[in-house]
Structure 1
Amino acid sequence: MGAITVRLTDVDGKEVTIDDCEAGETLMEAARRKGVAGIIAECGGACSCATCHVYVDEEWIDMVGEPDDVEEDMLDMVDDIRRPNSRLSCQVKLTARLDGLTAEVAPEL
């Protein structure tokens, strides 16, 4: 059983707590495992779509870090709903440092 907890607000506004995340697992993997509405993840985590787009809570953005160039290119595909705190959940690797992370699933296009 994992020791990392994350909280996501799904596309329906429901808060989902995932309290069994493992270090090394991505936020997308945890969200899919828990059935979080709005995390479609068509590419399965290959960073080749933007269907796992989330808004990381402002207090966590520095700890999560900035997107790399490939992720930036994918986020450009959702520019009309992109925010400064946008990330692809497939690129957010969970660590003990991210225990308590909160994010909101971006609306579907």
Structure 2
Amino acid sequence: MIVENDCLLKEKQRCCEELNDVIIYLKHTIEEQDYEIARLEDIRKEQTFEHEKRIRMDREVAELEMSQLKNDIEKCRAENLLMSKSIGRFVALPYRSGSLFKFKFSFFYFQ
């Protein structure tokens, strides 16, 4: 019986040591995973910041281009209005020369 008790005590001690080793291993693994999670969260934050920065820059460029296009459109409209008013001043005066109509403008002549 004493021999059995000694064997059981040794077995219990060995199991406790193994349990402690497993607990230490699990704690170490959890610490590594916590470190990896923190590292990945930092990377995600950096990438999110860079992505938002890129989106802001792209939006600013697009707004600038849109503003430039609107200005170009307004410029073209103003030029078209000016040209139509200028052409309106030089009204075509049709006159007959034989069977053909000729239109004479003050700044150019068509046949």
TM-score, normalised with respect to structure 2: 0.15
Higher helix share: 2
TM-score, normalised with respect to structure 1: 0.15
Which of 1 and 2 has higher RCO (CA within 8 Å, sep 6+)? 1
